[in-house]
Structure formats: structure tokens, C-alpha cells
């Protein structure tokens, strides 16, 4: 299992932002579109509403701008933009190119990364790799507009998915930075459990995805905890992929972490794929749920089936990290 090597140049998150389209589709709205009901959806998923509309580039630009403003960095300061998405606006070019232009980032590489709902955690780990190789700042965005590949008349899938975006600015520091350990995983043999053909809509074997997701999340999180050299008890906040409250609850049970330690936004957003982890992170940070020195566990899973986890020791202040800093404890 790979882990962050000693001496690697690290990074801290210095700004974050989110975007959700204005239009809301409630469970009650869905009752007139398919054979379902509000109570069933709440009980079986925890979801009450989801946002629809917007474009991947438009939502990314809004979330990215908010993150840049909070970090206090200008258009020349970003070396790379990674846009995690499974719903780019066009086949070519990458939606990241559109976002780079709309944000006016003048000297920056930009690319899309598709690891389905694990995408933002994959991007977070890859951004740390770029920073270890010399990048000063990386803008990491997760955005999906799943309404374009969801059939809202199919009760197997239409109750779950929505649109959104979340972004974070990662800034290089002299010492080890926030990332203590990570895990990237893929179970290609299970890809038929959840897929959409090009131009098609999502097809899903719900029970199979559920069963595999619980195990994948717990295994990936355990790998990241081991790689970080910490235990589940040390974790203050879990930021899990927001697919179904029962999946989150069952996987945290396996890890021995109480559900109260998780940030949950799925009741208001549904499953927003690549956006779900940064949306849940931003809400927890905005609510002051994390203090300096606390450990955050990110856990994503999704189609592929992919999984990704990361353990981060929180500090929003780049100056606190030196060669003798928190990561070397």
C-alpha cells in the first residue's frame, strides 16, 4: 500500500467554495414522474431533494471562483486545474479548459479526471502529486450535472441523483502539509453494476452497488488510515461520498466510527457524484466542525467500481507547516 513518502513537499487547503443550481426537484415532485413516494425515498436513501440544471463548466466556475476568493489568490497563482467530473459538457475539449478560460487563469494546466463518484478524492491525491513535483497551487474542483444522464421516470435511478459543484485551493508548503495517507482503488470486474453508455442514461443494479459499496468504502478507508498510521478513533470528521445514508451508516459501522462524526448533505443534494465530497467538506468547515490539528477522513466510491480515501490533518494556515510541522509528528 503506497503512502505519502517522508520529505515529500505537501500542501494545505486554503480556500473552498460550492455551487448548486437554483432549481430543486423534491421527492414529492418525483411522485408525479414515477411510481414512488416521499416516505419510501427518505427511508431507503435519506434523500429529500436534489438540485437540477446548470452546466458542468458553469457550476465549476462558480465554485472555483469562491474557492479562489477565499484563498485570496489571483489568476496567475494557479499552476493546475483538475476538474473531477463524469459529466463533461462536451466530449472534446475537457470542461476544465472552459473553466480555466472563464476563471481567467492565465498560466495554468487544465484537465478533466473521471473516476465517477470517487473523482474529487482521486483529484485531491493527484493534486498532492503535482505539488510534490513543484506546482505552487492547484485548484481541485468536483462537479457533476447528473440530470443529463438520469432518467427521472425510472424509479431505480431517478430518485438518487442531482447536480452540484465543490472546489478547493491546495497550496504548497515547505513541510509535509495536510495529507497523511491515501488510497486509490478500482474493482473493474464490477463495472456492469453501474454505467451509462455515451449518450445514454444511468443503468444500475441497486442492491449489488449497495453491497459492494459498503465493503469498498470500509476497505479503502482502512487502507488510508493504515497508510497514515492512525486509527479510526483518531478521526474527528468523516467526509464520505453522499450516495445513500444507509451505505454511509453501514460502512462507518464496519469502521467503528459513529455516524455523528460524518458530514451529511445528501438529504438536500442527493447524490452529486464528484461534487458530493467537496460539498460535504465545505458545509462542515463553514459550520466550524473542524479545529486545527483534527483529522479528517475522506472516503469516496462509485461506478467502476472505484474507491478513494485520504486522511488529512486539518490546518487552514499554510504558515503553520514547516519541516518540523504537524505532518512529521
* Contacts to ligand COA by CB under 6 A: 36, 40, 44-45, 117, 155, 159-160, 194, 204, 206-207, 209-210, 213, 243-244, 247, 271, 302
- Residue 118 CB, shortest distance to ligand COA, in Å, is 9
Q: Work out how close the CB of 149 gets to ligand COA at its nearest, in angstroms, rounded to a whole number.
A: 12
**Residue 102 dihedral angles phi and psi, to the nearest 5°:** -65, -30
Contact criterion met (CB below 8 Å) for 61 and 120: no
Q: Which residues are catalytic?
A: 117, 241, 271
Which CB atom, from 53 or from 206, has the smaller least distance to ligand COA?
Answer: 206
- Closer by beta carbon to ligand COA, 36 or else 222: 36
Cβ proximity to ligand COA: between 45 and 49 the closer is: 45
Cα–Cα distance between 150 and 173 in angstroms, integer? Answer: 41
**By the 8 A CB rule, do 10 and 175 touch?**
yes
Beta carbons of 176 and 118 less than 8 angstroms apart: no
CB 299, min distance to ligand COA, A: 12
Q: Residue by residue, what is the 3-state secondary structure of 42-94?
A: HHHHCCCEEECCCCHHHHHHHHHHHHHHHHCCCCCCCCEEEEECCCCCCCCCC
Pick 48 or 230: Cβ nearer ligand COA? 48
CB of 152 to ligand COA, least distance (A): 11
Backbone angles phi, psi at 151, to 5 degrees: -95, 105
25 vs 132, which CB is nearer to ligand COA? Answer: 25
**What whole-number distance in Å separates Cα of residue 142 and Cα of residue 16?**
11
| Three-class DSSP category at 37 | coil
| Minimum distance from residue 302 beta carbon to ligand COA (Å) | 4
Q: Which of 89, 106, 103 is nearest to 167 (CA)?
A: 103
User: Sheet holding 137-145: strands in order across?
Assistant: 11-19, 163-172, 137-145, 80-84, 109-113
Least separation in angstroms between CB 220 and ligand COA: 13
Cα separation, 143 vs 63, whole angstroms: 9
Contacts of 173 (CB under 8 A, 6+ apart): 9, 10, 11, 12, 318, 321, 322, 325
Nearest residue (beta carbon) to ligand COA: 206
Amino acid at each position: 500500500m503506497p503512502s505519502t513518502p517522508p520529505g515529500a513537499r505537501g500542501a494545505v487547503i486554503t480556500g473552498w467554495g460550492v455551487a448548486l443550481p437554483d432549481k430543486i426537484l423534491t421527492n414529492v415532485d418525483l411522485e408525479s414522474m414515477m411510481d414512488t413516494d416521499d416516505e419510501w425515498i427518505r427511508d431507503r436513501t435519506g434523500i429529500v431533494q436534489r438540485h437540477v440544471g446548470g452546466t458542468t463548466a458553469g457550476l465549476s466556475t462558480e465554485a472555483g471562483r469562491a474557492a479562489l476568493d477565499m484563498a485570496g489568490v489571483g489568476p496567475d497563482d494557479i499552476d493546475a486545474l483538475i476538474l473531477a467530473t463524469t459529466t463533461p459538457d462536451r466530449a472534446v475539449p475537457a470542461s476544465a479548459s472552459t473553466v480555466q478560460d472563464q476563471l481567467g487563469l492565465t498560466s495554468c494546466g487544465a484537465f478533466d479526471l473521471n473516476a465517477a463518484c470517487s473523482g474529487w478524492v482521486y483529484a485531491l491525491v493527484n493534486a498532492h502529486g503535482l505539488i510534490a513535483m513543484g506546482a505552487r497551487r492547484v485548484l481541485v474542483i468536483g462537479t457533476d450535472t447528473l440530470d443529463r444522464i438520469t432518467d427521472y421516470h425510472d424509479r431505480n435511478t431517478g430518485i438518487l441523483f442531482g447536480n452540484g459543484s465543490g472546489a478547493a485551493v491546495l497550496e504548497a508548503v515547505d513541510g509535509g502539509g495536510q495529507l497523511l495517507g491515501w488510497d486509490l482503488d478500482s474493482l473493474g470486474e464490477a463495472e456492469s453494476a453501474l454505467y451509462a453508455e455515451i449518450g445514454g442514461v444511468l443503468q444500475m443494479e441497486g442492491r449489488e452497488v449497495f453491497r459492494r459499496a459498503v465493503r469498498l468504502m470500509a476497505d479503502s478507508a482502512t487502507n488510508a488510515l493504515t497508510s497514515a498510521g492512525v486509527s479510526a478513533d483518531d478521526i474527528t470528521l468523516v467526509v464520505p461520498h453522499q450516495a445513500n445514508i444507509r451505505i454511509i451508516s453501514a460502512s462507518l459501522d464496519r469502521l467503528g466510527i459513529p455516524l455523528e462524526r460524518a458530514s451529511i448533505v445528501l438529504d438536500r443534494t442527493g447524490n452529486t457524484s464528484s461534487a458530493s465530497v467537496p460539498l460535504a467538506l465545505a458545509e462542515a468547515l463553514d459550520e466550524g466542525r473542524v479545529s486545527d490539528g483534527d483529522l479528517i477522513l475522506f472516503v469516496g466510491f462509485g461506478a467502476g467500481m472505484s474507491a478513494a480515501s485520504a486522511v488529512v490533518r486539518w490546518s487552514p494556515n499554510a504558515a503553520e507547516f514547516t519541516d518540523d510541522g504537524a505532518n512529521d509528528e
